[in-house]
Amino acid sequence: MGCDGGTIPKRHELVKGPRKVEKVDKNAELVAQWYYCTLSQEKLSRPIVACELGRLYNKDAVIEFLLDKSSDKVLLEAASHIKSIKNVMELNLSDNPAWTGDKGNTKGDKYADIQSARFICPVVGLEMNGRHRFCFLRNCGCVFSERALKEIKTETCHKCGVPFQDDDVIVLNGSKEDVEMLKKRMEERKLKSKLGKKSKKSKAVETIVKSEAAEDSQSPSQVNTAKDITQTGEKRSIAFCKSTVSEKAPSFSEKSIKGATEPVKRSSVASGEKSEAYKSIFTSHSSAKRSKEESSNWITHTAYYF
- pLDDT single digits (tens) 254-280: 444 444 444 444 444 445 556 777 777
What average pLDDT score do residues 298-306 get? 54
d(CA 178, CA 197): 29
Q: Does 292 or 128 have the greater pLDDT score?
A: 128
Question: CA nearest 152: which of 127, 122, 123?
Answer: 123
| Within a domain: 185 | no
pLDDT value at residue 80: 85
Q: Spell out a b/e string for 264-293, using b for 16 or more CB atoms within 10 Å of the CB, else e.
A: eeeeeeeeeeeeeeeeeeeeeeeeeeeeee
Per-residue pLDDT band at 247 (split at 50, 70, 90): very low
Of 24-38, 69-83, 169-183, the least confident: 69-83
Bridge partners (DSSP) of residue 137 are 169
SS3 98: coil
pLDDT value at residue 237: 47
Per-residue pLDDT band at 182 (split at 50, 70, 90): very high
Of 65-69, 84-88, 297-301, the least confident: 297-301
| Within a domain: 31 | yes
Domains of the chain: total:
1
CATH number of the domain encompassing residue 75: 3.30.40.10
Q: Please report, for residues 79, 149, 193, the alpha-carbon distance to residue 54 in angstroms, rounded to integers and kept in the order given.
A: 12, 17, 21
d(CA 41, CA 32): 8
Summary mean pLDDT of the chain: 75
| Within a domain: 119 | yes
| Within a domain: 256 | no
Contact 62, 89 (CB under 8 A): no
pLDDT value at residue 256: 45
How far apart, in Å, do the first and last CA atoms of the chain sit?
A: 184
| Within a domain: 199 | no
| Within a domain: 161 | yes
Of 29-33, 61-65, 114-118, 135-139, the least confident: 114-118
pLDDT value at residue 25: 74
| Within a domain: 253 | no
Which domain covers residue 83, as residue numbers? 26-100+114-174
| Within a domain: 278 | no
Res 74 pLDDT > 50: yes
Q: Please report, for residues 285, 286, 300, the alpha-carbon distance to residue 290 in angstroms, rounded to integers and kept in the order given.
A: 11, 8, 17
- H-run or E-run covering 144: strand 143-145
